[in-house]
Every structure is written in C-alpha cells, then in structure tokens.
Amino acid sequence: MKLDDFEVLLDMEENEMKRKRYSPTPLVEKRKKTLANDEISSDEDLSANERLHLTLEESDDEFEDRQEMAFRKAKQLLLDIREEEKTEGGGDEDAVAHRLKEEALSHVATLHRRVAKSAKTADSVVIYRAHSCRFSIVAVAISHDTRYICSCSKDATVVKYDVEEGKKVATLKYDKKNGKSHKGQILALAISGGDRFLVSGGVDATIRVWNFTNLELVKEFTGHKNAITGLAFRLGTQQLFSCSRDRSVKAWDLDQMGYVDTMFGHVDAVADIDVLSRERVLTCGGQDRTLRLWKVAEESQLVFNGFASSISIDCVAFINDEHFVSGSADGSLCIWSIFKKKPVCVQKEAHGRGADGQQNWIISVAARRYTDLVVSGSSDGYVRFWKVADDYKSVENIFSFELVGFINSMKFSEDGEELVCAVGQEHKSGRWWTKWNARNVVVLIPLEYAEQ
C-alpha cells in the first residue's frame, strides 16, 4: 500500500466515524425512550437483550473517543516520520513505510527479534571514573541518541559523560549553600523523551528535574515520604513514574511540571520500576515478594506472586508488553507473563554461590526491548547474558562478561548496541559487604550482532 493511499484511507475512516457519531441510531433512541418511561429497580428486571443494548449504549461514546484518538495519533505519526525522513535527507516512500510498520509493531508488542544467539561483546570496553569517586555508583541512564551517559552515586553526585569525546562534561555535587542539590544518597536516574530532562531521586524523598543540556535545575517534586528508589519515563514522552520506600508509585507530567496521581498496593518498600510505551507500569515490592502491573488509565493493577524462598524481589525489566524479567535475593532469575500469576520460568542460582556458601543476590536486570536478550548483574564478578526461549519457559546463559564489583544498575542503549553498567564496591542498598578489589566506575560494554 502506498503512503498516499494510507492517508486517503485515514481520511475516509475518519469521515465515516464522524457520520456514525452524528447520525441518529433508531434502535438506541427507541431504547432510551422506553427506559425513560419505565421504573427500573435493578439490572435483574431487564431481559438479556435489554442489558446488551444498555451495555452497547454506555460503551459507544468511549469507543468512538478512542477511535478518534487513534486516528489523530496515526496521522500525527505519519507527519512526524515524513518530516524526520526529510530532515535526515531521506524521504523515500519505502523507508517511511518501513518506519510506520516497525512503529506499529512495537506498540502491539509483536516485534520480537531474535538477537541473543548472535550477540557478542566488542573488543573495546570503555570505563568512566569520576575524580575522587570514593562511593559506589548506584544508577545509570543513557541518552536516547546514545551520546551521553549519566550516573549517580552514594555521595550525592551526578556525573554526565560524553561518549563520543570519552570524557566527563558536567558534575552535580551536594552544596548546602545553594539548596538545589540532593541531600544524601542519590538512588535513581532517568532521561525523558527527546533527551529534554534528566530526573534524579534519592533518600531526601525529592525528585529533581534538570535541563539535560546544561544540568540547570528546572523543578523539584515533593510528595514521597521516604527514599525514592526508581524513576522511569514512558517511552518517547515526558510522563514520569516514581517508586519509593514509602510503598507508593506516583505519576508526574513534565509537560505541565506537575503531580498526576498516586498508586498504592505494595506492602513493603518498592524496589524497582519500568515502563514501555503504554500506560502500564511494572514494579517490584522487595520483601513483599510481589510484582505489580499498574494499568494507569484503567486505575487497576495485576498482582504477580513470587515464591517465599525468593526472600526479596529487587529488580524488574520489561521484555515486551506481555513479558518481563525479575531478579531476587535468593539468586533466582524469573521470566513472567501477564497471563500467569506465577513465573513461567525460574533459573535458580543464576549467579552461583559466594565464598560463604550463600546464593549471590541478583542486584540488577535489563532487557533489550522486544528481543530475546536479557542480562543480569550480581556480585560474583560477571554480567551474564541470557537468551529467552521462544515460549518464554526457559533461559540459556549464552555468555558472561567479567566485571568485578556490585553491578548495581544496567541499561541498554536505544539501539541495543551498548550496555551501560553501574559498578560499585558496595551494594546499592546497604553496606553489608565491601569488595576492595572493585572500583567505583561506569562501564560501557559495546555489543555486536551477527544478524539483525
């Protein structure tokens, strides 16, 4: 189908939708008059057909509204992609059509590429170390254009690195005089759509919004009553979600620079958070041993129960809209489906046992979205790369990358060709152990794929 034909179809469908909306529906109108003249005490007094007509009538407006929204988004997406292709010097119709197809597939989670078997680490690994970084790196974020990496550490410092130049370009440090910096450890970072904002949160229970270009403070969000443990933006947007040790999940709108909503359900500190393009937020509740999928628009949630032996579920990441991965304190790596309350795959002792005979905790997980590649980090000296089976019922350790220290956070770049790791001498949540042979660094692992 040509793109011009696609535009004509959109216009025809939109006109047809408007005609339906503004044309009278005799059956529904007649039903309205009948019901208006009757006294109905409950749904039990209605016949099955009457209940069906009532249900259709109530949902009609909502259905039309969603259709109109979908058409507006489709037309805007087409315009945006056309403009982007022109800017990049392209504009080829087939290229634009291909972009439209990939965009549509990614939104319905059917774009599931098999890349794990062909993945391997490149020869050159880049290590970034901030000057006088005596405290563990806790979290990392990578810009959508993959040029910049940001990290935060337990000494309330945020550092921005330029990947192309291979150097540090900006630093935010605690300064009690200006009152703009965090007070205490910073535990979470995230970068908004279009690389407009960098947000940070930590033990002072405050979210700070920074202009990503110059790291000037733009806004402070308060509302959490305990340390902020995770931050995530809905893909390509300025819609922010935060989780905290106060057991709540909050939504924020950075276009309006305001608070939106609070979601409750976890009965222990919320440890990690992730979100894709849909308004569905994934969290794990630490020692309550549950994962929750928050359907924001519907104001509902799905609860997934871990095993009692898992001790604490500390990290999560979406694989696609229907599957996700988690890591536990008992060393279990689990794959979940939104259709099952229990994990569909459990890889026990994914990082083996330590010198004390105890299972190595899984501290962080990451997934290259819409592919079969996931990674896990612990303190055993390795980042482990896993292939998820097509039926999601098993995982295979395809290779491991040696990296000494606590792997406190990991993030894939937008194209999946870089993996950024936050490495520290200590665990991000405490000081139970110290690995003196480790360094507090940010590590960029380039990845290569034989087939794409």
Q: What is d(CA 425, CA 406) in angstroms, rounded to the nearest whole number?
A: 6
* pLDDT score recorded for residue 175: 79
**How many alpha carbons lie under 13 Å from residue 290 in its C-beta half-sphere?**
16
- Average pLDDT taken over every residue of the chain: 83
Residues 173, 293 within the same domain:
yes
CA terminus-to-terminus distance, the chain: 25
Q: What is d(CA 248, CA 226) in angstroms, rounded to the nearest whole number?
A: 10
Residue that is last in its domain, among 80, 107, 134 = 107
Residues 80, 196 within the same domain:
no
Q: Which tens digits make up the pLDDT trace of 242-281?
A: 999 999 999 999 999 999 999 999 999 999 999 999 999 9
> What is the CATH number for 146?
2.130.10.10
Residue that is last in its domain, among 107, 141, 162 = 107
Q: What is d(CA 282, CA 325) in angstroms, rounded to the nearest whole number?
A: 10
Written as six digits, the tokens of 74 are 């489709």
* pLDDT score recorded for residue 201: 94
Share of the chain above pLDDT 70, in %: 74
Residues 366, 254 within the same domain:
yes
Residues 166, 61 within the same domain:
no
Residues 136, 66 within the same domain:
no
Side-by-side strand order, sheet with 373-377: 364-367, 373-377, 382-388, 395-402
- State mean pLDDT over 94-102: 57
* pLDDT score recorded for residue 432: 78
Written as six digits, the tokens of 262 are 């609070």
Amino acid 369 reads R
Residues 311, 262 within the same domain:
yes
Residue that is last in its domain, among 107, 134, 158 = 107
* pLDDT score recorded for residue 54: 42
Q: What is d(CA 66, CA 264) in angstroms, rounded to the nearest whole number?
A: 27
- Does residue 420 contact residue 375 with C-beta atoms inside 8 Å? no
Q: Which domain holds residue 134?
A: 116-449
What secondary structure letter does DSSP report for 91?
-
- State mean pLDDT over 181-207: 94
* Burial per residue of 393-422, b for 16 or more beta-carbon CB atoms within 10 angstroms, e otherwise: eebeebebbebebbbbbbbbbeebbbbbbb
Residues 69, 135 within the same domain:
no
- State mean pLDDT over 43-48: 42
Instruction: Give the DSSP per-residue string, 418-443.
Output: EEEEEEESS-TT--S---TT---EEE
- Does residue 140 contact residue 409 with C-beta atoms inside 8 Å? yes
Predicted confidence (pLDDT) at residue 21 exceeds the cutoff of 80: no
Q: Which tens digits make up the pLDDT trace of 381-412?
A: 899 999 999 999 999 999 999 999 999 999 99
Q: pLDDT band for position 94 (50/70/90)?
A: low
Q: pLDDT band for position 31 (50/70/90)?
A: very low
- Does residue 442 contact residue 422 with C-beta atoms inside 8 Å? yes
* pLDDT score recorded for residue 451: 63
Q: Which tens digits make up the pLDDT trace of 109-159?
A: 445 789 999 999 987 888 888 655 678 999 999 999 999 999 999 988 999
Residues 373, 316 within the same domain:
yes
pTM score? 0.76
Residues 262, 345 within the same domain:
yes
Residues 17, 126 within the same domain:
no
* pLDDT score recorded for residue 73: 64
Indicate the number of domains in the chain. 2
| Residue 167 CB-density burial (10 A; 0-12 exposed, 13-18 middle, 19+ buried) | exposed
What secondary structure letter does DSSP report for 309?
G
Q: What is d(CA 98, CA 335) in angstroms, rounded to the nearest whole number?
A: 31
Tell me phi and psi for residue 84, to 5 degrees: -65, -40
Written as six digits, the tokens of 225 are 């009553």
Q: What is d(CA 14, CA 27) in angstroms, rounded to the nearest whole number?
A: 23
Residues 335, 358 within the same domain:
yes
Predicted confidence (pLDDT) at residue 91 exceeds the cutoff of 80: no
- State mean pLDDT over 428-446: 88
Q: What is d(CA 20, CA 68) in angstroms, rounded to the nearest whole number?
A: 12
Residues 361, 387 within the same domain:
yes
Predicted confidence (pLDDT) at residue 169 exceeds the cutoff of 80: yes
- Does residue 153 contact residue 186 with C-beta atoms inside 8 Å? yes
